Structure 1
Amino acid sequence: MMSVNRIIMHPDFEKFHPFGNDIVMLQLHLPVNFTSYISPACLPTPGMQLPIYSSCWITGWGMLNEDTPLPPPFRLQEGKVSLVENKLCNMLYEQRLSKDKNYSVYEEMLCAGNFLTGKAICQGDSGSPLVCDLFNTWVLVGLASWGVDCRHPIYPSVFTNVTYFTDWISKIQRLTPPPEPTDVPPQTPFPNGLLRAVGSPGPHAALMPPRTWLPLLSVLRAWQQALQ
């Protein structure tokens, strides 16, 4: 387990529409030590165009479906999905959601799903990564944000579009001071047996120096209230 030194929410979180700017930066006390179970994914470059129907993977410890929680030993779940055009995603949600619910997929969001297998995010997966194999490199393109209930028929899941926020992420990394070494609490080892590599990336995994910054979602309003 890694302890968090600082939480920085996006200043415009839900300022303009539901789940808008749904991203937070977590600064860890210590760098992450990469292992055969823990590998980094690259951040996309600013303005990167993501090929629709790219081969991507979602992972998380959320519920298996709307009525079934993940049972012990709580193994990390994974599913192969494809990117879906925002226009198509909006059309699907307009048919599913009632008119009094003003939920739309905006430019800072993206959709992904698998219409054949029904793979999608579920309760408890908020903040989980969406990684795509682009040019033989695993790239973090999305962070699980919202969707309809995970019952059949399964609709595409909606993610924060990381590409949209690369400049903001770089700004936070540049302007935030590093954690004080004296403030580091004891770290709890994480049991490797609960993890396995996502999609067997092998040589496609992008190896980078250990970082103390991790971009994750914040859909928990309690965090927002605690920081006010």
Structure 2
Amino acid sequence: MSASLSPSLPSLFRHCHPCIIFAILVITTIITIITVTIIFLLLTILTIIVITTTSSACLEIEAGEGNLKLFNAATSWQGSKELTTGGKRKWKTPTGHENARREDFEDFLLSLRKYERARKVCGKPAVSGKIFGGQNAPDQRWPWQASLLYLGKHICGAALIDAYWVISAAHCFQKSHEPSDYRILLGYHQLQHPTEHSRQMTVYQLIVHSEFNKRYFMGSDIALLQLHLSVNFTSHILPACLPGPTTKLPIHSSCWITGWGMITEDDFLASPLQLQEGEVGIVDSEVCKMYFQSPDSSSSEYSIHEDMFCAGDLMTGKSICRGDSGGPLVCKLNSSTWFLMGLSSWSLACRYPISPSVFTRLTYFSSWINEKQRTSPNPEPSFAPPQEKPPILSDFTSLGTVHKPSTCMTLVFSQTLLLLLISLRTL
């Protein structure tokens, strides 16, 4: 009886065959899911590591004024837009380059670190608070202010915009285009009293705009100076922020001019040659064009063009004077950051009671500045001459001048009245 109740072995397998197949499928599915999950986790971890080690700086820049597109991991470039904030070293990845060399990748990351460092410090002096008057400037107020020396004498102002770059006016270099003839003084407050924070820098390359003074009077009045050695940023030496091509100045912006220029056409700055400052307002271009209208209505030799703008204090007469050429006009565009909006270019005589000054408009030259910096690699330190001790400028015999129209400009009564009304309206 027991034998009849027990099924044979082949019969058992025949009845359980679908169960075995189902079990195998379940086990296979579980193994596949586990394998895929492990692979996914590994890829996720690797992706996080790559992004953390190679792209974090790029992501930070996205939040700033720069607009940079990320590259694909660490091996293939996708291209990037140029970084546009001041105080940086430009770098543009070659579009479509699929196999970037390791040294290119390392240089790219280095440029990002320099950019991020400069972006955080540019336009933010250690001394802040409300600025009064328009006379002696407090120490550390304008840490980007530079003095341009020609054969050892102060001729113009200039401004630091990057660890390797200084900017000034093109007309300051009409005596010579030889870089070795020039020196840049940084960290100076009084030209007669250099301190431990003062530096004298040699010039590696001088780039004067090729269109300077060609199309019209004082057009493209801008020049770049590349230094032999990098500048170490301190509270006494910091770059000014550069504006982008579309940066706008809000109405009633706080703008200031600084320099070691002459007090009047005949009076030099008194000892100890302390940096001077003055608050100015932006003058409407149409009003400024009317102001510089020549008595000869058919003449437009001295006119205001799109690469220029006017500024001044039409009530007190604050304006640029001899020795101020190439110096900065900076405007505070937010609560704590100063942007370099203009360079002192030309004006009427300093003694004119109502005399706006004309400045090179840096937003107009944003692309030119970016291009020149991008195509000029930093020099090898071995090329630099021996560092020189910061000099004491015992006498002030400025060779520079703010260029002035040679013909007489006149204001009819209606023009004078209009300018005064505009000045009162902005108070």
TM-score by length of 1: 0.78
Q: 1:64-83 counterparts in 2 under 5 A?
A: 64-83=263-282
2:366 is paired with a residue whose SS is helix
Q: Percent identity?
A: 54
2:364 is paired with a residue whose SS is helix
Q: State the shift of 1:190 in Å.
A: 4.0
Q: Distance in 2 between matches of 1:156 and 1:34?
A: 33
Q: Distance in 1 between matches of 2:402 and 2:203?
A: 17
1:138 pairs with 2:338: yes
Alignment-mate amino acid for residue 382 of structure 2: T
Partner of 2:203: 4
Partner of 1:168: 368
2:320 to 121, 126, 131: 121
Taking a change above 3 Å as real, the CA distance of residues 25 and 179 of structure 1, as seen in their structure-2 partners, is same
By relative contact order (CA 8 Å, sep 6+), the higher-ranking structure is: 1
1:13 pairs with 2:215: no
Q: Distance in 2 between matches of 1:52 and 1:113?
A: 14
Q: Distance in 1 between matches of 2:321 and 2:307?
A: 20
1:2 is paired with a residue whose SS is strand
2:367 is paired with a residue whose SS is helix
Q: State the shift of 1:174 in Å.
A: 0.6
Partner of 2:378: 178
C-alpha contact (below 8 Å) 2:326/2:344 kept by paired residues:
yes
Q: State the shift of 1:135 in Å.
A: 1.4
Q: 1:177-216 counterparts in 2 under 5 A?
A: 177-190=377-390
1:48 pairs with 2:239: no
Taking a change above 3 Å as real, the CA distance of residues 191 and 157 of structure 1, as seen in their structure-2 partners, is same
C-alpha contact (below 8 Å) 1:52/1:84 kept by paired residues:
no
Structure (1 or 2) with the greater strand fraction: 1
Alignment-mate amino acid for residue 304 of structure 2: V
Structure (1 or 2) with the greater helix fraction: 2
Taking a change above 3 Å as real, the CA distance of residues 177 and 39 of structure 1, as seen in their structure-2 partners, is closer
Partner of 1:155: 355
C-alpha contact (below 8 Å) 2:332/2:338 kept by paired residues:
yes
Q: Distance in 2 between matches of 1:174 and 1:110?
A: 26
Alignment-mate amino acid for residue 69 of structure 1: F
Q: State the shift of 1:49 in Å.
A: 1.7
Q: Distance in 1 between matches of 2:300 and 2:259?
A: 27
Structure 1 gap ranges (5+): 193-217, 221-228
Partner of 2:232: 33
C-alpha contact (below 8 Å) 1:89/1:105 kept by paired residues:
yes
Structure 2 gap ranges (5+): 1-199, 393-400, 404-427
Q: State the shift of 1:219 in Å.
A: 7.9
Taking a change above 3 Å as real, the CA distance of residues 219 and 186 of structure 1, as seen in their structure-2 partners, is farther
Alignment-mate amino acid for residue 246 of structure 2: G
Q: State the shift of 1:102 in Å.
A: 1.5
Alignment-mate amino acid for residue 372 of structure 2: I
Q: Distance in 2 between matches of 1:130 and 1:109?
A: 12
Aligned residues: 193
Q: Distance in 1 between matches of 2:214 and 2:307?
A: 13
1:187 is paired with a residue whose SS is coil
Query: RMSD of the alignment, in Å?
Result: 2.1
Alignment-mate amino acid for residue 207 of structure 2: I
Q: State the shift of 1:191 in Å.
A: 7.7
